[in-house]
Structure 1
Amino acid sequence: MDFTYTEQTLPRAVAWLFESNGYSVTEDVSVQDVVFPLLAKQMAGLVEQKVFIEVTIDHVNMVKHEGLIAKLVLARRQVLGSQQVLVSSGGFTDEARDHARMEGILVYTFQELFRQFERTDPYIEHVLGDGDFAESLRDLDEVYEEPDFDDDRGVHRATEWLTHWVGDETEPSRWVVVVGEYGTGKTALTRVLQRRWMSDYREGRLTRLPFRVELRDFSRQFDARGLLHHFLDRNELAHLNISFVESMIANGRVMLILDGYDEMAQFLNVRERRACLEALTELSGDGVRGILTSRPNYFTEAEELQVFEVLYRNLDTRSQIGAAALDKEVLEQEQQVDRMLEQFVIQRAERQLRDLSPEQTIHLVKKRLGDDPAGEKAVTGILSRVFRPESTREYSLGGKPVIVSYLLDVVEELKRDEASGSGGKLTEWQIYELIINKLMLRDWARVKNLPPSDRLEFLRHLAVRLSSESRRSIREAAFRELIEERFPGHLAKQRATGTADAADALFDDLRSSSTLTRSREPGEYAWQFSHNSLREYLALTFLVSEHQSGRSLPRQIQLTDAMLTFSRSMPKDVLEGSLAQLAMGWPNRSYSKSLDRILTLLWPALLQNAPATEDKRDILARIVGPGLDISKSRLSQVDFSADARPSDLHRLSASETELSGVSFRAARIERSNFSDSIFEACNLSQAVADGASFKRALIMDCDITGLRCAEADFTALDRDSTAVVKTSRGAQIITGEHLIGYLRAQGAVTDDVNPYYVFATNSDFEVIEKICKVLADGAQHQRRGVQQRGAAERNVPLARKFLEYLFGCDYLIVKGGRSEMISATSSGRQACHRLAVEKKVDDTLGRFLEENLGRPRRSAN
């Protein structure tokens, strides 16, 4: 951040600092004909506090600046009870500081003055002091094994790269998105950075105060102020004025660390996620820097672009109000959106956090179990068996910090298991099953109140409860209610024997389960799973068990990428039993609304176990029958693409279907029926959809780049539909008539649409549009400049041909007998204005566009 000030900017910066903290500031105030640059006023109880402020960019010494101090002494004597402040961006000599203090005058550099208002010491103590939270961060930092970024930017130690980035004010990337699978240590990384950067801030090595916000706490849509209030309330900063905090962020005083975007996004629909992203852009002022962590595939380009499309559209709406006074403000706001788009999307850095290497994993185990050789052997023995099948190769899962952490938690149980270092490979499903079984046995050894199977069943229901209610934790009242619901017989028997506190005993036992950890909700304690992946695994096994038993499942559970990853490693006997139950029940799915959720869950396992050459049509037919009828279902994250194997899904019956995150990339879906369906964040790029029906469909943020849709029916397409099209010049969001025009240009049958939007899909249309914009002003122009410069440079022959056409239809004339000077006629000026400004094409220009850019395809009428 640049802290260099001029004689003009320093007074404004000081005034902003006081105003953002509740003062009213007046400039150039006179006291006995002596002018003070600033007077700040604020009510303090029943008395108005007045602060006279003198500012200078010079280095203050007694020889040159004694007069400044004399001025402030005059104000102190003339205005009783007032305070006097001297602010210098250049600093002070010791003599000047001492003299001012003797006179009762406060002296600050701008940074020192800023610190007076920040009042962040309670937060710093919260992170670095002696409390429970600070102790947990300190313990983590002591055993932290440094992970690596490994991506197109190279291999770098994650904490080192990020620390260099945050300290380099010349770095163009203002945001870093850290992506990584479940369990790679994204949260641990942000917690370690919070502690280390806070220490750097306290010692003056870092100018930005780290604000770490856990986005997973938000299972509902939020706005920017709601997010900040949440952070301030939980981090000993509730005393700060929210406007001042927003100013701190905008002026580069804060480093935002936003952890767990995916854990928030999984509970939100696309519109809610878009609103949350828009709230994040509100925090993206010119000086802001931020880190955002997420699992892959939750932070989508389509949603980002749509956010900025909305911001630009809001500016357009304001500019159309007709108030000329708004023009300058709208222009400034548009420039601000441009800067946010560049910082938040175009110039942001994305880094991939990888699992620990085998060497890093062994080092972590040794660091934790260096004095326990038997435990070290047991844990490394298990880790050597952990693998993930993917296509035809295997690679270790042992480097996932979350798995290592769990194994370290059950090291005593592993030491008692003689087979811990032997046997075959372990998949993700099996390693979590092993860990959970060990944790259940530990709880059983601690107190033999509940058999391990009963405890496990309760925890599965708890996982489903939290997933269904989009909550991270459960409070005591709800916890007790679930106990009463799950153990009525046990409690009745205990009460019958005179045990009055049976429910309390069961509550005390279950809340102490090794899989749970305590968290503090506002005003009371709550309990959550020690890692999100544990909740996801338990919820998944509950769903599979209930399905195999023929029971309906809760439809509101959001299926996450981790659950689908666990499903991919599902044991073969579990898969076959689930598949048989699904195929048997699918024809009657209208009576069992949860079967589509099971199809989503089983699909990764089916793809994993099928021969690589088998078409996805045949795999799908095993479940839904040869007619490929998936109508009136709801599918999420299903991969129907042809990327890894053939995918011929022609005549797919998918009417009235909700598809979220489904990929049809390069798939053949000709003559399929998607009428009345909803597509949310789906991938239709390069798909072949000739003759398919999308009648009355709603398309939300879907990639349709290269979609083949000749004679496909898109009539009555929902006008709120949005799509992404990628070209060599970048990605573009298209909606409304632009989308219908694009589909019409690809050969689809659509509702009637202004021909402008059809022609506009051709990259050469910009040449015509820019020429019309030039000619619409009615002025004289050099012919050579019009047909060879600006946008015309992209296709000079087309530009020359267009001008000749305009001459031929009397839309263009030579001015003043000089052949190189041209001007539009009255009718030509009107036609050019309609095309360039009103986005309408008259018949005369339409004929040229049809002949040279292609004829608009037919509509439904």
Structure 2
Amino acid sequence: MTEIVTSALSLLVKAAASPAKDAAFRKSWVIATLKRLNLDPKQPPKDFYSLYAYTLVEALHDQPSPVLQVFRDEHVQQSFYRSFSDKNWTRLKREIGESVERNRETGEYGNLPYGMSEVAQDFISKFQDLVSRSRSAYETRLENKLDDMSEMLDQVLKTRSAEEKHRQSENPQWAEASAAQRLTGDVREWFHAVGYTVRREWKVEEVSSVALLVEVPQRRPGKFDLVVALCVEGEVAPYHLESLKGLVEEVGAAEGWGIAHLRVSSAARELASRSNDSLFCYSFDELIDLEADFEPYIQWLEREVQNQHIDTRFVPLACRKEEIDPRTEKSFGTSMYDWREGGLDNYVDAWLADPAKKHLSLLGEFGMGKSWFALHLAGRLAVGWRDAKSRGVARPRIPLVISLRDYAKQTSVSALLSEFFFHKHRINVRNYEVFSVLNRMGRFLLIFDGFDEMASRTDRNTMVANFWELAKIVEPGAKVLLSSRTEYFPEAKEARDLFGARVAAATHAIPSDGPTFEIVELVPFDDDQIRKMLSHLLTPEKLEVVMGHESVRDLMRRPVMSELVIDALPEIEQGAVINLARIYLYAIKRKMDRDVSNERTFTSRADKLFFLCEVAWEMIHTNQLSLNYRDFPDRLRACFGSVVENSKDLDYWEQDMRNQSMLVRNSSGDYGPSHKSLLEFLVAFRFAAELGLLEGDFLHLISGPDESNGERLSWSEYFASRGEGGRLAHLLGFDPEGVEKLASNFGMAEYNPVIFDFLATMIKECDSYQDVLIAHIKSTASALEPFNLGGNCANLLAQAGGSLAGISLHEARLSGFGDTGEAFFDISLEATNLSKADLSEADISHLNKRNANFTGALLRGGSFLDSPISADHVLLDSHGAITVLRSRLPNTHPWVQPMDSAALHWPHGDLHEEPVVVPLTPDPKESWAGGCGIFEWDDGEWGCTDRSGTVIRSSATGEITQSFQVAASFAVTWGDSRALMAVDRSSSGYTWKVVDAATGHLLAVCDEAIAPIAHARVWGYRPSVNGVLLRVSSEEETALFEMTSANSEWVEQARFPVGTAHSIGGFTSIRTMVKEDTVYIEGPRSEILTYPKSEFGDTLDDLAVARCSAFTPDAQRLVMSNDRSVWMLERDAGSWRKAWSRSVSSDVSAFPAMSADGSKAVFAFRTGELSTWSLADGNRMSARSFNPLLRGAQFSRESDLEESDYESIKLSGGLIGG
């Protein structure tokens, strides 16, 4: 029974002793009693126990004491909880009926009145009425499940049992041990961690237990107590303690401890309490409590949940999960988890209950509620942990909420955790090893919040290194939830690769035992969630004002915006322009003006903003998102100089800036933003001012609306030049800073989509923003070190919708231009003069460069030659006909029209001729080429597929010869006929199947077999001579299985002692593996060929640097490529030699196709080039380009390009000068 329920019943019992006759007095007594219980008489509470206590007071205030004793009964209360949870009141009514019958015999409640069933029904009705007044039915049912600890703890017990079974399945020796022996293993490990010494271990057969003789250190150094620890199966019972007493006497120990995995009987506890402190009994959790006190942390967590109003204002979140085929990396749709049906809460609960599940990564854009949910989840588990501890039952994992923004202050994750345990929360554990042991034992849920905040610069190497740093503490038994901004990853696949532990830090191999994370992504709020969130904060009238503005509702899709929108409500009501940046503008202005009007501050709004902007830039730039109170004086001196020279003035300014500057303080005295996006707004504000582009309402935040007689100064000049008394001058507007100062600030900023979004909104208040930004770009030509100033200005201009077409940027330095991750923005470079410009660290591949002037420009290192249109698949039939699948890049570029896919066919194999074009209709749900594809059929025919089905075409004419109502991936031979390998998406999942080409009948289903290799990481289907070939690789093993018309199961064809851990080369390196003295390479028919390592000699290095490889049909030639070369190895007299090598300008975009006689190959490159090559000498025979972006562009030989780059430029329609 909780404290509030006990208190309510005590007050009711006292009142029942002298009942009030006057109805008005009874009403006032109810109100007063609710207030004594800290309950609001006007608003029912939201947590379950408080709501139950509220109902007791309202429904039973006029009932006699015997009735109250019935509702005090724990069995009645438990029945109530379960009845409400199940929405079935039969259980409660039955329990009350049985209580009444029992009372007739025992009189335990006293003299019960007639009509207890009516009293119960009235109580139920009152409770349900309060529920409807308190919140929605779903919210209450959800919180009821969480507050109903018996249900939650039942699940904990099931989870513990499932985790133990999983542990046994992973460790056969552990499974063979008895329960007492397994407990002893855990106890020994725990004793070692806390510094206890085990001197002896022996079996105690008569009680099926294991005894340990243990030295337990005393507080005095060098002193210890001798303890016998008896590890028992099942529950500690009195007979165990009798046996333990004899063992203690036998060895002369000071104490005896009876230890069970989960349960201790009440009789055993009673017996121990009478042993004069010589016998004790513990569950394993209670044994841990002796040396690890988590109560202070749990209390902090509960306070944090309350301080942030998560306990009363949390709104359930929805999420989605993209379903990816691990074999092909194709997406087969998205699973949605609606908040009305439990959403993210239910998903995480199921994940926590599944011992075999991966770890979990929660992605979402800024302000979507990641940190909100982390604390909400931790708060739920903390309540469950405390309740389980008080009941003496199995406890849920302790949720450790660890902010990764603090990582920048530490040298390692272990140092971060040490800070978390020993300093931040002062958790009483002996050492770091205690954490490691408890982590391995599954006692923690590690909630790492803010993976994107671990480093100040988000280059790929740092991101990967940070992941593997976190991986060091993700041990077997651990559960980890890791949150991050979605925009931290350039593309979804990069997130999947990283969280799937498939990428390694620079100079390191991929560890074989890295942790893997499944990924779920938060979904923006819908209108009902917005209404629910605001209902906690606004009156019904003001709520309707907000909901009536579509633009405001769109901003509120991010929960973080709620309080900012409320601060900006007056402007919204007046019809002001609304966007994300302006909401921050209005909210900051109102907060600061309110402080002034309340006489809570003496510094000006301008000075506050200046200080906040300077601090925000330092925090973002260094990724240390807090400022300790001890550091305020130095920051103030740096910002305000002589104004704060006097120590008394410094004290005033320090107090004012700390207390009235929108920064919030934690218990350690660190000041930081309530949300990172506030810093990002302030940094954007500062950059706009430094660029000379702060105008309109944004400028008035500094200057005020009536500064027509003011001066124009730069940002730094304005705050440095003060008049008498430190007063700031009247400000007309900001002039730009000089190029060197801009370079050291805006030029040092890494692209951040949130900052640039704010910044683009701000600068568009200035009519001349395009001219100003272009002038800044031009100024980089004379700068000593512009860093990314030119590139950032160009990116900002693109994001604001500007253009560089026809502009002269002669000698401009554009490092960082286009380096915007997943956020692509179009800006035309058509006819732009970029002569002698530095584009070596720019990515302008996706931009229109037609007729631009690149003479003398530095271009090498950038990817300007890559094309948005290229060939994804290449076929070459026995008669020389060439077929390719041409498609655009996935539609991440907003200016590119829906994917332009087509099959192009050259019947005679001459790429100089115009092809037969077969338009294909992509499926927008498919991530890989829109679900379009081509494949080989019979000799003289080929197939193509799209969302409408599959057709077979003549190689001679391109005409349709057959059509099928199924989307096929490739063709197979099935007995005496041809069949199609297709994907069935008729159910919620997907299934690979073999379909008869003539009848459309299902011939076989390929996905129903159990994985034929344990811990498989790579799957792949290929056509075989007689059916379908399945290749499966784990880290240490690879096997080939075949399914044919003669059987319906996978039949093993071959097995090899190599896997992903032995692969060499690039992204297709699973085709080439090396172990000891043998090389394993995928052959021309998907078989695996083996060669002695010695056969390759020096050419083994060529295998290692290859990113793509393909055999000729006779397996005597091996054509390979990477991003700069194509070469061929040839086998001669039992050894391999390099026959030729040619430079190229990019990676291939598809695997090369080989002619049947092995004399010719067709290559497709990311530059858009498609070409045929003679394998005899490595010369191109014919070529064409799909790249539409370089036509008419001018280049010169004095640039830093290689000959292969010039060939690609000419092929794309560019012009090469002298």
Q: TM-score range by the shorter chain?
A: 0.5 to 0.7
**3-state SS of paired residue (1:145):** coil
Q: 1:739 to 1:154 in 2, by over 3 A?
A: closer
Q: Which of 654, 658, 669 does residue 507 from structure 1 map onto?
A: 654
Report the equivalent of 2:624: 471
Percent identity for Structure 1 against Structure 2: 17
Report the equivalent of 2:179: 6
Compute the TM-score of the two structures, normalised by the length of structure 1: 0.67
Structure 2 residue 338 is the aligned partner of structure 1 residue 165: no
Are the counterparts in 2 of residues 57 and 90 from structure 1 also a CA contact under 8 Å? no
Report the equivalent of 2:884: none
Q: Deviations over 1:805-860 (max 9, x none)?
A: 89xxxxxxxxxxxxxxxxxxxxxxxxxxxxxxxx9977645389998596596999
Q: 1:167 to 1:762 in 2, by over 3 A?
A: closer
Q: Deviations over 1:756-806 (max 9, x none)?
A: 9xxx99854795754447999xxxxxxxxxxxxxxxxxx9x999x56xx89
Counterpart-to-counterpart distance in 2, 1:557 and 1:115 = 48
Report the equivalent of 2:605: 452
Report the equivalent of 2:381: 197
Tell me how far 1:89 sits from its aligned partner.
3.8
Q: Which of 1126, 1136, 1141 does residue 846 from structure 1 map onto?
A: 1136
Q: Which of 564, 584, 606 does residue 756 from structure 2 map onto?
A: 564
Structure 1: tracts of 5 or more residues without a match: 317-333, 388-395, 611-618, 690-702, 704-725, 746-752, 777-794, 807-838
User: Quick check: which one's helix share is greater?
Assistant: 1
Which protein is bigger by CA-based radius of gyration?
2
Q: 1:442 to 1:260 in 2, by over 3 A?
A: same
Are the counterparts in 2 of residues 398 and 404 from structure 1 also a CA contact under 8 Å? yes
Tell me how far 1:472 sits from its aligned partner.
1.0
Q: 1:315 to 1:149 in 2, by over 3 A?
A: closer
Q: 1:48 to 1:208 in 2, by over 3 A?
A: same
1:558-707 alignment, distance < 5 Å: 558-574=750-766, 577-592=768-783, 593-594=785-786, 596-597=788-789, 599-600=791-792, 603=795, 606-607=798-799, 609=801, 619-621=803-805, 625=809, 631=813, 633-635=815-817, 637-638=819-820, 657-658=840-841, 664=845, 677=861
Q: 1:558 to 1:567 in 2, by over 3 A?
A: same
Alignment length (residue pairs): 684
Structure 2 residue 174 is the aligned partner of structure 1 residue 174: no
**3-state SS of paired residue (1:633):** coil
**3-state SS of paired residue (1:386):** helix
Report the equivalent of 1:818: none
Amino acid of the structure 2 residue aligned with 1:136: N
Counterpart-to-counterpart distance in 1, 2:376 and 2:814 = 47
Report the equivalent of 2:337: 155
Q: 1:107 to 1:273 in 2, by over 3 A?
A: same
- Between stretches 289-298 and 304-313, larger displacement belongs to 304-313
Tell me how far 1:15 sits from its aligned partner.
1.1
Structure 2 residue 633 is the aligned partner of structure 1 residue 480: yes
Counterpart-to-counterpart distance in 2, 1:54 and 1:80 = 15
Q: 1:798 to 1:23 in 2, by over 3 A?
A: farther
Report the equivalent of 1:365: 534
Report the equivalent of 2:498: 304
Are the counterparts in 1 of residues 748 and 787 from structure 2 also a CA contact under 8 Å? no
Q: 1:446 to 1:57 in 2, by over 3 A?
A: same
Are the counterparts in 1 of residues 530 and 556 from structure 2 also a CA contact under 8 Å? yes
Are the counterparts in 1 of residues 305 and 376 from structure 2 also a CA contact under 8 Å? no
**3-state SS of paired residue (2:198):** strand
Q: 1:285 to 1:573 in 2, by over 3 A?
A: same
**3-state SS of paired residue (1:49):** strand
Q: Which of 664, 676, 680 does residue 517 from structure 1 map onto?
A: 664
Structure 2: tracts of 5 or more residues without a match: 1-159, 166-177, 322-333, 389-393, 693-734, 872-891, 893-1016, 1021-1031, 1034-1058, 1096-1108, 1118-1128, 1140-1153, 1162-1174, 1180-1201, 1205-1218
Are the counterparts in 1 of residues 757 and 799 from structure 2 also a CA contact under 8 Å? no
Counterpart-to-counterpart distance in 2, 1:58 and 1:402 = 49
Report the equivalent of 1:276: 466
Report the equivalent of 2:703: none
Counterpart-to-counterpart distance in 2, 1:256 and 1:424 = 44
Are the counterparts in 1 of residues 798 and 825 from structure 2 also a CA contact under 8 Å? no
1:123-522 alignment, distance < 5 Å: 123-128=297-302, 133=304, 135-137=306-308, 139-150=309-320, 152-157=334-339, 158-170=343-355, 172-204=356-388, 207-219=396-408, 222-232=411-421, 233-267=423-457, 269-299=459-489, 300-301=494-495, 304=498, 310=504, 337-338=512-513, 340-341=514-515, 343-344=516-517, 348=518, 350-370=519-539, 376=543, 384-386=550-552, 396-408=554-566, 410=567, 414=569, 417=570, 420-423=572-575, 425-447=577-599, 449-488=602-641, 490-491=643-644, 501-521=648-668
Tell me how far 1:311 sits from its aligned partner.
8.7
Counterpart-to-counterpart distance in 1, 2:626 and 2:509 = 40
Counterpart-to-counterpart distance in 1, 2:560 and 2:288 = 41
Tell me how far 1:437 sits from its aligned partner.
2.1
Tell me how far 1:100 sits from its aligned partner.
5.2
Tell me how far 1:211 sits from its aligned partner.
0.5
Tell me how far 1:255 sits from its aligned partner.
0.8
**3-state SS of paired residue (1:40):** strand
**3-state SS of paired residue (2:448):** strand
Are the counterparts in 2 of residues 209 and 253 from structure 1 also a CA contact under 8 Å? yes
Tell me how far 1:215 sits from its aligned partner.
0.7
**3-state SS of paired residue (1:25):** strand
Counterpart-to-counterpart distance in 2, 1:25 and 1:683 = 68
Compute the TM-score of the two structures, normalised by the length of structure 2: 0.49
Report the equivalent of 1:784: none
Are the counterparts in 2 of residues 148 and 156 from structure 1 also a CA contact under 8 Å? yes
Q: 1:185 to 1:678 in 2, by over 3 A?
A: same
User: Quick check: which one's strand share is greater?
Assistant: 2
Q: 1:674 to 1:226 in 2, by over 3 A?
A: farther
**3-state SS of paired residue (2:631):** helix
Counterpart-to-counterpart distance in 1, 2:354 and 2:242 = 39
**3-state SS of paired residue (1:219):** helix
Amino acid of the structure 2 residue aligned with 1:465: E
Q: Deviations over 1:320-348 (max 9, x none)?
A: xxxxxxxxxxxxxx7xx34x34x33xxx1
Report the equivalent of 1:723: none
Counterpart-to-counterpart distance in 2, 1:665 and 1:305 = 28
Are the counterparts in 2 of residues 219 and 267 from structure 1 also a CA contact under 8 Å? no
Q: Deviations over 1:533-570 (max 9, x none)?
A: 11111111211211223312324444422112223434
What root-mean-square deviation, in Å, do the aligned CA atoms of Structure 1 and Structure 2 show? Answer: 5.1
* Structure having greater relative contact order (Cα 8 Å, sep ≥ 6): 1
1:779-818 alignment, distance < 5 Å: none
Q: 1:683 to 1:297 in 2, by over 3 A?
A: farther
Are the counterparts in 2 of residues 127 and 195 from structure 1 also a CA contact under 8 Å? yes
Counterpart-to-counterpart distance in 2, 1:460 and 1:434 = 16
**3-state SS of paired residue (1:38):** strand
Counterpart-to-counterpart distance in 2, 1:736 and 1:727 = 12
Report the equivalent of 1:24: 197
Q: 1:766 to 1:257 in 2, by over 3 A?
A: farther
Structure 2 residue 732 is the aligned partner of structure 1 residue 547: no
1:741-760 alignment, distance < 5 Å: none
Tell me how far 1:403 sits from its aligned partner.
1.9
Amino acid of the structure 2 residue aligned with 1:161: N
Counterpart-to-counterpart distance in 1, 2:227 and 2:436 = 24
Amino acid of the structure 1 residue aligned with 2:736: G
Q: 1:578 to 1:27 in 2, by over 3 A?
A: farther
Amino acid of the structure 1 residue aligned with 2:528: E
Tell me how far 1:277 sits from its aligned partner.
0.9
Counterpart-to-counterpart distance in 2, 1:740 and 1:119 = 49
Counterpart-to-counterpart distance in 2, 1:685 and 1:116 = 65
Counterpart-to-counterpart distance in 1, 2:254 and 2:582 = 72
Q: 1:73 to 1:674 in 2, by over 3 A?
A: farther
Q: 1:550 to 1:167 in 2, by over 3 A?
A: closer
Amino acid of the structure 2 residue aligned with 1:405: E
Q: Deviations over 1:40-71 (max 9, x none)?
A: 33433221333322323255555xxx4x5455
Tell me how far 1:599 sits from its aligned partner.
4.0
